[in-house]
C-alpha cells in the first residue's frame, strides 16, 4: 500500500482539476510542480495593484455550462470580454474579423456591402484554384475565409512571427479559431460565458488545490523512480516526449519571451491586447494588464508586457505545440506508448500535445477523473 492514491505531476489546470475531483471523492493526492509556483501557465501575480498574467494573457471563455459552473466554485468572474485591436504599421483595426474591421479595411457600411467585397475576394481565390478546392494550409484557408486584404494586413505577418514558419506550411485549423462576423461586434470569442477570475487565476487554482498536498520545486523526471514509489497512480501533465526520454525524437513547440515594464502613466494603450500584425515589429502583441480589471488601480502607473515568439529548443519553456503533420505523426507514436502505460494518466496541453483552450482542458480533466471514482 503506497502513501498516496495519486501523484499529480504539474499543478496547471489539468492537474489541479483532477486533484480537486479525486480529493473530493476521498482519494489522497500529492501534487508536485517543477516551478516555484502553482497554476502552470495561468499563474498570475499582483504587480502595481493588478493581476499580471505571467505566462501570457488568459481570458476564460466557454460554452460549456457545466465547466462554467465548476470554475465559479473557486472564483467570482468579472464580465471582461476580450476586444483586442490590431495595429498594422500604425493603422488600427478591430478584431476578430467583423463589420468594424470590414468598415476600416474597405469603407463598407452594411453587411451586404461587406459580403459583396468578401465574395469578390473569395472568387479570386476560387478562380485561381478552379473552384471547389479545399484549403491545404493556413494561407489558403485564411484567403478563402476572409480574402487577400485582411490576410496580408492582419494575418500573414502576425502568424509568421508567432509560428516562425510561412503560412503555407501551417495547418488550416489555427485560423479557424477566429470568428468571422457580419455584425459590429468586437467580442473575440463566441462563447456565452466569459470573464477573468476576480483576485486572479493563482487564487482560483489555490482553492482547487485545497485539501491536496502540494510540493513545489520538484522535478519528477529527474527522480522518477522515487516519485513513482509514492503513489498507486500517476497523473502526468508534462511534455509527453520528455516522459519517454525523447526516444522517437523531440516534438516541436513554440516558445515565448515576455518583457514586462512598469510605465509611469495611467493608461498606455487603452485596451488589454494590441496585436502588431506587421512582419517588422519584433513582438507579436502588447498586453496592458489593468484593462483585464477595467483600469483598476489608476495610480499613475501601468504594467505592460511585450510578447515575443521564439523557436523552442530543449530546456526552453514549451508553449504552443506545433500541430503540423510531421509533429502530429510523431505525437501519435508517443500516444501509443502512453496507452500502454496502464498506471499513468496523460492529460493537458503538453501531455496530449494539443492547442487547448482552458475550458477544454477542464472538461477533459472532469471527464477523465470521472472514470477513476
- Least Cα distance to 193 among 293, 363, 63, 359 occurs for 63
CB of 173 to ligand UDP, least distance (A): 10
- Which secondary-structure segment (H or E) carries 62? strand 60-62
**C-alpha–C-alpha distance, residues 15 and 34, integer Å:** 13
225 class by beta-carbon count within 10 Å (0-12 exposed, 13-18 middle, 19+ buried)? exposed
Q: Cell for 232?
A: 498507486
CB of 185 to ligand UDP, least distance (A): 16
The yes-or-no answer on residue 193 being catalytic is no
Largest CA distance in the chain: 71
- Least Cα distance to 227 among 31, 369, 368, 36 occurs for 31
CB of 195 to ligand UDP, least distance (A): 16
The yes-or-no answer on residue 177 being catalytic is yes
CB of 163 to ligand UDP, least distance (A): 6
By beta-carbon proximity to ligand UDP, the closer residue of 30 and 175 is 175
Tell me the pairing of strands 91-94 and 213-215.
unpaired
The yes-or-no answer on residue 355 being catalytic is yes
**C-alpha–C-alpha distance, residues 357 and 191, integer Å:** 12
The yes-or-no answer on residue 228 being catalytic is no
Chain position carrying cell 508536485: 32
**C-alpha–C-alpha distance, residues 214 and 349, integer Å:** 21
CB of 196 to ligand UDP, least distance (A): 14
**C-alpha–C-alpha distance, residues 255 and 249, integer Å:** 18
Give the 3-state secondary structure of residue 161.
helix
By beta-carbon proximity to ligand UDP, the closer residue of 57 and 239 is 57
Cα 50 to Cα 80, 200, 267, 295: the distances in Å are: 14, 9, 13, 9
By beta-carbon proximity to ligand UDP, the closer residue of 7 and 175 is 175
By beta-carbon proximity to ligand UDP, the closer residue of 193 and 236 is 193
CB of 187 to ligand UDP, least distance (A): 13
In the set 181, 233, 349, 364, the catalytic residue is 181
In the set 45, 116, 177, 257, the catalytic residue is 177
In the set 140, 293, 307, 352, the catalytic residue is 307
The yes-or-no answer on residue 165 being catalytic is no
- Least Cα distance to 349 among 3, 25, 40 occurs for 40
- Least Cα distance to 272 among 259, 293, 289 occurs for 289
By beta-carbon proximity to ligand UDP, the closer residue of 44 and 162 is 162
Q: What residues does 236 pair with on adjacent strands?
A: 9, 346
CB distance 50 to 297 below 8 Å: yes
In the set 139, 140, 206, 357, the catalytic residue is 357
In the set 248, 283, 308, 355, the catalytic residue is 355
The yes-or-no answer on residue 349 being catalytic is no
CB of 180 to ligand UDP, least distance (A): 12
- Residues found near ligand UDP in the complex (CB under 6 A): 86, 95, 154-155, 158-159, 162, 174-175, 177-178, 275, 277
By beta-carbon proximity to ligand UDP, the closer residue of 92 and 373 is 92
By beta-carbon proximity to ligand UDP, the closer residue of 52 and 175 is 175
The yes-or-no answer on residue 285 being catalytic is yes
Residue by residue, DSSP assigns 172-226 as GGGGGGS-B-SSS---S---SEEE-BTT-HHHHHHHHTTTSEEE-S--TGGGHHH
Q: Which residues are known catalytic residues?
A: 177, 181, 254, 285, 307, 355, 357
Amino acid at each position: 500500500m503506497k502513501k498516496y492514491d495519486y501523484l499529480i505531476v504539474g499543478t496547471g489546470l489539468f492537474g489541479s482539476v483532477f486533484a480537486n475531483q479525486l480529493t473530493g471523492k476521498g482519494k489522497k493526492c500529492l501534487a508536485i510542480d517543477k516551478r516555484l509556483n502553482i497554476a502552470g501557465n495561468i499563474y498570475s501575480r499582483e504587480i502595481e495593484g493588478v493581476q499580471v498574467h505571467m505566462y501570457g494573457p488568459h481570458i476564460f471563455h466557454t460554452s460549456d455550462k457545466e465547466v462554467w459552473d465548476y470554475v465559479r466554485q473557486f472564483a467570482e468572474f468579472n464580465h471582461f470580454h476580450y476586444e483586442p485591436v490590431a495595429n498594422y504599421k500604425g493603422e488600427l483595426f478591430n478584431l476578430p474579423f467583423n463589420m468594424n474591421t470590414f468598415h476600416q479595411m474597405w469603407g463598407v457600411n452594411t453587411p451586404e456591402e461587406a459580403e459583396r467585397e468578401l465574395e469578390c475576394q473569395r472568387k479570386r481565390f476560387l478562380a485561381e484554384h478552379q473552384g471547389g478546392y479545399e484549403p491545404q494550409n493556413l494561407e489558403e484557408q485564411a484567403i478563402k475565409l476572409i480574402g487577400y486584404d485582411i490576410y496580408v494586413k492582419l494575418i500573414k505577418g502576425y502568424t509568421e512571427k508567432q509560428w516562425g514558419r510561412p503560412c503555407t506550411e501551417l495547418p488550416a485549423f489555427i485560423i479557424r479559431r477566429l470568428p468571422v462576423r457580419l455584425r459590429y461586434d468586437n467580442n473575440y470569442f463566441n462563447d456565452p460565458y466569459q470573464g477573468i477570475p476576480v483576485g486572479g487565476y493563482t487564487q482560483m487554482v489555490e482553492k482547487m488545490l485545497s485539501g491536496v498536498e502540494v510540493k513545489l520545486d520538484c522535478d519528477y523526471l529527474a527522480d522518477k523512480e522515487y516519485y513513482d514509489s509514492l503513489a498507486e497512480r500517476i497523473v502526468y501533465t508534462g511534455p509527453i516526449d520528455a516522459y519517454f526520454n525523447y526516444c522517437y525524437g523531440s516534438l516541436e513547440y513554440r516558445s515565448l519571451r515576455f518583457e514586462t515594464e512598469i510605465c509611469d502613466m495611467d493608461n498606455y494603450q487603452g485596451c488589454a491586447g494590441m496585436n502588431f500584425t506587421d512582419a517588422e515589429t519584433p513582438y507579436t502583441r502588447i498586453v496592458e494588464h489593468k484593462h483585464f480589471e477595467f483600469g483598476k488601480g489608476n495610480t499613475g502607473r501601468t504594467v505592460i508586457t511585450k510578447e515575443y515568439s521564439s523557436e523552442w529548443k530543449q530546456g526552453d519553456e514549451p508553449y504552443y505545440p506545433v500541430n503540423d503533420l510531421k509533429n502530429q505523426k510523431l505525437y501519435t507514436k508517443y500516444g501509443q506508448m502512453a496507452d500502454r502505460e496502464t498506471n499513468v494518466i496523460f492529460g493537458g496541453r503538453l501531455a496530449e500535445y494539443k492547442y487547448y483552450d482552458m475550458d477544454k482542458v477542464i472538461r477533459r480533466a472532469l471527464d477523465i477523473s470521472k472514470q477513476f471514482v
